[in-house]
A and B are shown apart, each in its own frame.
Chain A
């Protein structure tokens, strides 16, 4: 059976009609056509699917879309302000925080969640906050530098 819900994604209401077992990730990617969030492990291990739900990070592969009914969701597509990249996005590029790019959407969301709560994190705090996000390319150094640089820029 399908149920009606309204998902507010990046500030826009999207009415959807979905099955109870659908994940938030699959609905946002396929019904709403926003493929920025990635399906890595589909198991809550890798963090590539991370979105903000009411301002806080969630692994959307493991969250039922119907439970997000009426709530505010932010995906990587919502970070830039029009054509202007978010400081985190700019610094990920500048500091070599991106190689293949698959983990990047989740990393950016995870880092945004961290900076929203803690605008001046220590390196340890950054590493701990991002340890739910796996990257197999960069060795994390560039990612940590990018978050530090973005924090300094936003402050």
Chain B
């Protein structure tokens, strides 16, 4: 069959194309590369959505949260003051997706719908309680990002549905996403961890912790969260949270790391994310993203 292509000028046009079997392409940074690597051939029928103005932009919502259009690029996310200040872990994650040659074509929507268990933005979105807004010709529905991601490369979205936006509820406190990587750019998490905490006076109020590239889909780690919540956020609690993250890991061995190495690094990377999230909640202004390797950068974070 000969391949077909439409560049959608409006959302209804894109939805009609999806309803008749086309697959969407925005930045193409996963789709086209995946086809080259033999993961999945490029779809025969493509609808390009990069021109849809209604899928762009970051807006404050009435409830003190943010609505992020699916076409917002990683570069836009890193540059956005509200994302950096209130959803810092998402800024950390967006800052290390691909390279500067992918961050402004690669989109948040694409990162989410590609549903890699190693994707950078998933952990932060799940910790912030993000919802995906899915639209089709038959209407709109909202699905928690935690429920949208059902497995490697799989989502709960129907083929005729388009992700149009991600909505984040109001957030307080501090957060961080950290990953183990072998290269600063054109890398994806070997192991990743997210932490978001709120403070109650000097103590930790609530805590959310998620692990990336350690389970078939990115998940929260309740044991790590309860190790932190209500405590002093000191070294003992951080250690316990890291150990809980490692215990929750079900890593695979592949060309990038063995399962044993991933499990060992789960504790290290989780501690790094937790430490930075607590420091940020207490007012420290760590760089975004935090250094990949504290030792190499001469910053002793312990």
Listed in ascending order, the chain A residues whose CB lies under 8 Å from chain B are 1, 3, 19-21, 23, 42-45, 47, 50, 53, 56-59, 61-64, 66-67, 69, 110, 113-114, 128-129, 131-133
* Complex alpha-carbon distance, A47 and B99, angstroms: 9
B235 close to chain A: CB less than 8 A: no
B48 close to chain A: CB less than 8 A: yes
Among A1, A67, A114, A133, the residue within 8 A (CB) of B25 is A67
B271 close to chain A: CB less than 8 A: no
Among B35, B101, B184, the residue within 8 A (CB) of A50 is B101
Question: Do A110 and B100 form a contact, CB below 8 Å, given A43-B36, A128-B185?
Answer: yes
* Complex alpha-carbon distance, A69 and B27, angstroms: 14
- A3 and B33 contacting across the interface, CB-CB below 8 Å: no
Question: Do A62 and B3 form a contact, CB below 8 Å, given A47-B99, A113-B100?
Answer: no
Among A20, A50, A58, A132, the residue within 8 A (CB) of B46 is A20
What's the tally of chain B residues with a CB closer than 8 Å to chain A?
30
Measured CB to CB, the closest approach of chain A to B79, in angstroms, equals: 10
Q: Which chain A residue has the least Cβ–Cβ distance from B25?
A: A64
Chain A residues within an 8 Å CB radius of B226: none
Measured CB to CB, the closest approach of chain B to A79, in angstroms, equals: 16
Chain B residues within an 8 Å CB radius of A62: 28-29, 32-33, 36
* Complex alpha-carbon distance, A64 and B42, angstroms: 11
B7 close to chain A: CB less than 8 A: yes
Among A1, A64, A66, A132, the residue within 8 A (CB) of B100 is A132
Measured CB to CB, the closest approach of chain A to B80, in angstroms, equals: 16
Measured CB to CB, the closest approach of chain A to B232, in angstroms, equals: 34
- A66 and B48 contacting across the interface, CB-CB below 8 Å: yes
- B3 and A132 contacting across the interface, CB-CB below 8 Å: no
- B104 and A63 contacting across the interface, CB-CB below 8 Å: no
- A67 and B48 contacting across the interface, CB-CB below 8 Å: yes
B5 close to chain A: CB less than 8 A: yes
Q: Which chain B residue has the least Cβ–Cβ distance from A109?
A: B101
Contact indicator per residue, chain B 98-128, by CB within 8 Å of chain A (1) or not (0): 1111101100000000000000000000000
- B37 and A43 contacting across the interface, CB-CB below 8 Å: yes
Of the A-B pairs whose beta carbons lie under 8 Å apart in the complex, a sample of 11, sorted by A's number, is: A20-B4, A43-B37, A44-B101, A47-B101, A59-B102, A66-B48, A67-B25, A110-B101, A113-B100, A128-B184, A131-B183
* Complex alpha-carbon distance, A63 and B29, angstroms: 7
